[in-house]
């Protein structure tokens, strides 16, 4: 799992782009559709190209992402084209808040062969026993829940979501050895930038 995290970091890049929108009243929830088939793959054996289209990869193909900033938790629901129970999948969210400064929190939910985990990494204390992750292959939905207290009780959050996977059976000179497939929930096609949704405010802020 650590190998995938490292590969994803290399592929995603480090620049940040805000994809914000405005509203008359503070938003607490967003639900965003993502086009089917806009998955890309990048790796050392792909002819030196940064990334190439991989529309046939269904397990990382995000169709809709919903984020809700609730009273006590921030909840993310990611609907995929096909969530395969035995396959490796990493769904990661970068979370900016009014308290996080220049370094966002990273929420990573991983599953492989029906074993799953979720971790929170960030600018402060990252131990958060209230984290939750559910991989429901019946509805092709990944749900992640993080207590607001683990994010220092922010007034607002901005979230970026990506799904990624690797093929652990690919070895050596195989075209897809060490390759990473990924899809950005807020971006059509490939971009090395990180795209954030609008600021979602706490209901009482």
Closest CA to 167 of 74, 29, 60: 60
Q: Which residue has the higher pLDDT, 33 or 193?
A: 33
The chain-wide mean pLDDT, for the chain, equals 86
* CA–CA dist 134, 176 (Å, integer): 28
- Is domain 2-13+27-192 in CATH 3.40.50, yes or no? no
Q: Where are the domains of the chain?
A: 2-13+27-192
Q: Which structure tokens are listed for 22?
A: 């405005």
pLDDT of residue 177: 84
Q: What is the dihedral of CA 126, 71, 160, 7, to 10 degrees?
A: 30
* Residues whose CB falls within 8 Å of the CB of residue 183, separated by 6 or more in sequence, listed in order: 34, 38, 39, 40, 60, 61, 62, 162, 163, 164
List pLDDT tens digits, range 95-149.
999 998 888 999 999 999 889 999 999 876 668 989 999 999 999 999 999 999 9
Burial class (CB in 10 A: 0-12, 13-18, 19+), 50: exposed
Cα 132 to Cα 56, 86, 148: the distances in Å are 30, 20, 13
Say if residues 19 and 196 touch (Cβ distance below 8 Å): yes
**Residues 41-53: what's their mean pLDDT?**
80
Quote the Cα angle for 152-98-200, to 5°: 95
State residue 79's pLDDT score.
Answer: 98
Strand partners, 41: 52, 181
Query: Residue 9: pLDDT above 50?
Result: no
pTM of the model: 0.84
For residues 182-204, give the mean pLDDT.
91
pLDDT in tens, 11-32: 444 444 444 444 457 899 999 9
Nearest to 30 by CA among 42, 41, 19: 19
């Amino acid at each position: 799992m650590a190998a995938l995290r490292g590969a994803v970091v290399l592929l995603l890049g480090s620049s940040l782009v805000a994809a914000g929108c405005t509203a008359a009243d503070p938003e607490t929830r967003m639900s965003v559709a993502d086009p089917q088939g806009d998955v890309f793959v990048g790796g050392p054996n792909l002819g030196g190209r940064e990334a190439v289209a991989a529309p046939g990869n269904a397990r990382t193909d995000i169709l809709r992402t919903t984020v809700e900033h609730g009273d006590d938790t921030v909840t993310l629901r990611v609907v995929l084209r096909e969530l395969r129970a035995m396959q490796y999948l990493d769904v990661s969210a970068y979370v900016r808040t009014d308290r996080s400064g220049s370094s966002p929190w990273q929420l990573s939910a991983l599953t492989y062969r029906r074993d799953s985990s979720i971790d929170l990494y960030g600018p402060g204390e990252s131990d958060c026993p209230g984290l939750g992750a559910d991989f429901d292959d019946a509805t092709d939905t990944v749900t992640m829940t993080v207590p607001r207290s683990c994010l220092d009780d922010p007034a607002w959050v901005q979230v970026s979501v990506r799904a990624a996977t690797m093929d652990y059976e690919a070895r050596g000179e195989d075209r897809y050895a060490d390759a990473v497939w990924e899809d950005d929930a807020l971006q059509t096609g490939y971009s090395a930038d990180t795209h954030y949704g609008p600021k979602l405010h706490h209901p009482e802020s």
